[in-house]
Structure 1
Amino acid sequence: MIDLRAMREDPDAVRASQRARNEDPGLVDRALVADERRRSALTAFEQLRSEQKEVSRSVGKAAADERPAVLARAKELAERVKAAERDAAAAAEEAEAVVRQLSNVVIDGVPPGGEEDFVVLRTEGERRELERVRDHLELGEGLAAIDVKRGAKVSGARFYFLTGVGARLELALLNAAMDQALAAGFTPMITPTLVTPGVMAGTGFLGAHADEVYHLPTDDLYLTGTSEVALAGYHADEILDLSDGPLRYAGWSTCYRREAGSYGKDTRGIIRVHQFNKVEMFSYTTQDDAQDEHERLLAWEEEMLAKVELPYRVIDVAAGDLGAPAARKFDCEAWLPSQQRYMEVTSTSNCTTFQARRLGVRHRGSAGNEPVATLNGTLATTRWLVAILENHQLPDGSVRVPEGLRPYLGGLEVLSPVDGR
């Protein structure tokens, strides 16, 4: 949820953010009207309640002949207070419903526009020149590392098995990510993958992209598409002590996404799948420190990409391609030789106070308790296997193991094809 006081003081900034996102700026005016009605209704209720208390206190002091009139007045006020309380509650509910439709206010400097309007900040690493390029699925099947046919047989389209060295490679990658996070001061977490509607809505994932989320109606629980959701809810309704710096967690979880609307796009192999594993960084920090923490998360992502020796670029994502909670997002995109394009492998988002306001997460600041800022960033995920296999492939279909992963594979330097594959 955005800062209502800031919206009242500078509604044009929120309107500009809405336009940059290609969203309706008129929603700001509807939110202001609803907020004004909420405040007016609350004031009316409080005034009536104060008058009711004063009249009630006067009953015992009233003369005998005056008491019936005072009691009648008290009764009348009690009914009016109940009506005013209902009106205030309805106005508050209406205002919250409108305000929750507003996406986070983008940070100055975020490129306006849609998916194709990102800005490339830098490009790192060298792309290899390959005479013959095998895609990750051909390589994975040759290594007996990926089995999509049996994945589809068991679970349907866009499911898969990682087998043999495929399973080992993913575990190596995720363990390397967790070790790096631990060295950087993150607390390792194995998170729940089912959360309540309150937590899912609190993180901002039940808005425009709710169709991406799996819902279990019998239990009224949601499957998470990232451990960010559970980690954001971890400190819900708490007051944190950030005097020693940010609280940082590294969540390891299986993630689930419906991939709605992506029919026919990257459906070969394991680029867009319904289930995958991920190590996600999550930070709680102060509002003043949020932008610096965002840069730190991006640096840790790039450190991990260097360990697996992938050529990549960093982009500043355009406002219209941000999720509702994000005020700014940087993506790292690895080079994909088989498609001659860059493919997203990490995202890091600064959600400012948007999630914390919804979830009631505050810290003790110099001016009292105030909302924290929350940030998240991918440190490794199953999709990285696509880029690792393709960028480190050798002419005979084998794959060189990046040096940063070798200690997690018992020193293995090359993944070799399996006979008959």
Structure 2
Amino acid sequence: MIDIRYVRENPEAVKASQRARGANETLVDDLLRADEARRSTLQVAEETRAQQKALSRTVGKASAEERPTILAQAQELAAKVRELEDAAAKANAEYERIGMLIPNIIVDGVPSGGEDDYVVLKHVGDVPTFDFPVKDHLDLAEGIRAIDMARGTKVSGSRFYYLTGIGARLELALLTAAADLAEANGFTLTVTPTLVKPEVMAGTGFLGAHADEIYHLETDDLYLVGTSEVALAGFHSDEIIDLSDGPKRYAGWSTCYRREAGSYGKDTRGIIRVHQFNKVEMFSYCTPDDAENEHARLLDFEEQMLAKVELPYRVIDTAAGDLGSSAARKFDCEAWLPSQERWMEVTSTSNCTTFQARRLSVREKVDGKTQTVATLNGTLATTRWLVAILENHQREDGSIYVPEGLRPYLGGRELISVQ
């Protein structure tokens, strides 16, 4: 939820953020009206309650003749207080309903527009050229017996798979390398729950426009997470945390689940868009003033991982209309996908400013006063990386070059041969 004090003082800035996102700017005026209604209704209720208490205190001093009249008046006021409190509760519920519809306010510099209006910030590495017919990741993986899609589909349905043999080892190598990098940079490695309560899922902003991507277990009223960001955002919910020594950083290792309801075409072949995958996700709690610098740090860690696996990539500044509701800014790293001759997202890192922490009530104390903290997240490695690793490092005979950064996790192996 956005800061209502900021909205009161800067309504035009909030409307500009809505316009940049392609979102409804009239919600800002609706929120301000609801805010005024809930505050004025609550004020009248409190004033009437004070009158009722003051009148009740006079009963003991009143004469026998006066007492029945005073008691009757006090009862009338008590009934009026109940009515006003009910009206105040309804006004507050309407205020919260509208407030939950407004996404985070974008930070300065975010490109306006939709999915195709991103800005490329840089390219790193050379796109490979091949003097032989390029194979896609699934053909390569089947050649080295790394992925079994057929049996995944047989057991669980479309877009499920088995990682087998060297495929399983490759994923473990990748995720372990990410975990090592995270721990070396002060992140606490965490294996997180993959089922969370509705209030935690809603608190992170995932139950808005993209709620249809989430698996919900109705019997237990729990949600399967699509990223450990959700569980890590809830880790310090309803707490006051100490940031005097700098950001609190966590790296969540978890299995993730997504319905991928809108994906189609080539992305549904192999493991580019699947319903279940594994991921190491960075998550930071920091002061609002440090959020922009922390965002740059998370992006740097992602680029260090991409360097380890020797992938050519580009970094894009995602346009406002393509941001999730909780992100004020998002940078994506996209690796080259030779079989489709296009860039494919492999990481993203988002600055959520105080949006999630306000919903989840995560605060810090500054000079004796509490203030909402900022939260940020970023992908450090995920199963999808195997797609880019296999395709960019393929050899003519179908074998795969092993990047130097992964060799320590694969017993020093330099090449994966066709089985």
Normalising by structure 1, report the TM-score: 0.98
Partners of 2:323 and 2:266 in 1: how far apart?
20
Matches within 5 A, 1:109-124: 109-124=109-124
Secondary structure at the counterpart of residue 117 of structure 1: coil
Partner of 1:216: 217
Secondary structure at the counterpart of residue 265 of structure 2: coil
Q: CA deviation at 1:63?
A: 2.0
Matches within 5 A, 1:249-288: 249-288=250-289
Partner of 1:357: 358
Instruction: Return the letter of the residue paired with 1:61.
Output: K
Partners of 2:29 and 2:376 in 1: how far apart?
28
Secondary structure at the counterpart of residue 105 of structure 1: coil
1:230 and 2:214 matched? no
Partners of 1:57 and 1:262 in 2: how far apart?
67
Partners of 2:61 and 2:94 in 1: how far apart?
41
Partners of 1:304 and 1:59 in 2: how far apart?
75
Q: CA deviation at 1:367?
A: 6.3
Partner of 2:401: 400
1:99 and 2:99 matched? yes
Q: CA deviation at 1:135?
A: 0.6
Q: CA deviation at 1:41?
A: 1.1
* Equivalent residue pairs, number: 418
Instruction: Return the letter of the residue paired with 2:220.
Output: D
Instruction: Return the letter of the residue paired with 1:275.
Output: Q
Secondary structure at the counterpart of residue 64 of structure 1: coil
Partners of 1:257 and 1:319 in 2: how far apart?
23
Can you give the 5+ residue segments of structure 2 that lack an aligned partner in the other structure?
none
Matches within 5 A, 1:125-164: 125-131=125-131, 132-164=133-165
Secondary structure at the counterpart of residue 362 of structure 1: strand
Matches within 5 A, 1:158-197: 158-197=159-198
Partner of 1:4: 4
Partner of 1:315: 316
Instruction: Return the letter of the residue paired with 2:80.
Output: R
Partner of 2:43: 43
Q: CA deviation at 1:73?
A: 1.1
After alignment, is 52-61 or 270-279 more displaced?
A: 52-61
Kindly provide the CA deviation profile for residues 353-398 of structure 1, in whole angstroms up to 9, marking residues without a partner as x.
0001100110112361010000000000000000000011111100
Partners of 1:397 and 1:138 in 2: how far apart?
9
Q: CA deviation at 1:57?
A: 1.1
Q: CA deviation at 1:238?
A: 0.3
Instruction: Return the letter of the residue paired with 2:239.
Output: E
Partners of 2:391 and 2:407 in 1: how far apart?
17
Partners of 1:367 and 1:234 in 2: how far apart?
23
Partner of 2:33: 33
Instruction: Return the letter of the residue paired with 1:415.
Output: I
Partner of 1:384: 385
Partner of 1:299: 300
Q: CA deviation at 1:69?
A: 1.1
Q: CA deviation at 1:59?
A: 1.1
Secondary structure at the counterpart of residue 364 of structure 2: strand
Percent identity, aligned pairs only, is: 70
Instruction: Return the letter of the residue paired with 2:69.
Output: A
List, as ranges, runs of 4+ consecutive aligned residues in structure 1 with deviation greater than 3 Å: none
Q: CA deviation at 1:271?
A: 0.1
Partners of 2:85 and 2:264 in 1: how far apart?
49
After alignment, is 54-63 or 395-404 more displaced?
A: 54-63
Partners of 1:147 and 1:229 in 2: how far apart?
30
Partners of 2:394 and 2:264 in 1: how far apart?
28
Kindly provide the CA deviation profile for residues 70-119 of structure 1, in whole angstroms up to 9, marking residues without a partner as x.
11111011101111111111111111001100000000100000000000
Q: CA deviation at 1:265?
A: 4.9
Can you give the 5+ residue segments of structure 1 that lack an aligned partner in the other structure?
none
Partners of 1:381 and 1:305 in 2: how far apart?
12
